[in-house]
Amino acid sequence: GAGVSQSPRYKVAKRGQDVALRCDPISGHVSLFWYQQALGQGPEFLTYFQNEAQLDKSGLPSDRFFAERPEGSVSTLKIQRTQQEDSAVYLCASSPPFSMNTEAFFGQGTRLTVV
Amino acid sequence: AQTVTQSQPEMSVQEAETVTLSCTYDTSESDYYLFWYKQPPSRQMILVIRQEAYKQQNATENRFSVNFQKAAKSFSLKISDSQLGDAAMYFCAYRRGGATNKLIFGTGTLLAVQP
């Protein structure tokens, strides 16, 4: 596709429910990032993939958060047993094969509301 | 750890006037990159301008320019001839050189453009 695509755009989950957020990166982009953006804040790094390898998951806030990218393309961020503090916009970004000038291209995000 | 600080939660500018958004950062790295991103209500992060730390010359992109003061660790964005479409949240971001290339964002500045 022309850009990074995320689905769904909006998700309302009841507390305790599991959710799965999808990211379709730009074709050919090997790097993929997930960020969490709380209301009124800047995005915060969650995890990073290079192709199918998850090279950095230091930003995942708890073991309820899990991300995968099994074929090195589409990625899914899964949150188990959602809690109210998980309410945020989840942004996905992808970038081409790494070079110093690599720019990250962002999707429009998924707004998750936990009620 | 690297940090990015934006001390102006909100700014306002008259259409066709000039406005400057402030950003400071803290790092012990010598190789890094700085960015300004624009986030409209659609939530998609759009790259406005990028500065490589090793370059002394300030980056410029049409009506957007930066004042990069490396010793002071300051990276401000100047928007000239402001337009209504410039109204958005603006985030300053840091990325160290190297393989990880995750972005560290400030808390953002909400820019309003008055007609």
Among B109, B88, B85, residue whose Cα is nearest residue B24? B109
Asked whether the beta carbons of residue B100 and residue A48 sit closer than 8 angstroms, the reply is yes
HSE toward the beta carbon, residue A47, CA cutoff 13 A: 22
Which residue does chain B place closest to A100, by CA atoms? B97
The C-alpha of A58 sits at a distance from chain B's nearest C-alpha, in angstroms, of: 11
**What are the pLDDT digits (tens) for A16-35?**
999 999 999 999 898 999 99
List C-alpha distances in Å: B73 to A51, A103, B60, B77: 34, 22, 18, 14
Contact yes or no for B88/B39 (Cβ under 8 A): yes
Q: Which residues in chain B have their CB less than 8 angstroms from residue A40's CB?
A: 107-108
Contact yes or no for B58/B78 (Cβ under 8 A): no
**What are the pLDDT digits (tens) for A37-83?**
999 999 999 999 999 999 999 999 999 999 999 999 999 999 999 99
Asked whether the beta carbons of residue B91 and residue A98 sit closer than 8 angstroms, the reply is no
**What are the pLDDT digits (tens) for B61-100?**
999 999 999 999 999 999 999 999 999 999 999 998 765 5
- B8 inside 8 A of chain A by CB: no
Asked whether the beta carbons of residue B103 and residue A45 sit closer than 8 angstroms, the reply is yes
With a CB-CB cutoff of 8 Å, which residues 31-70 of chain A face chain B? 31, 33, 35, 40-45, 48, 55-56, 59
Contact yes or no for B58/B65 (Cβ under 8 A): yes
Alpha carbon of residue B90 to chain centroid: 7
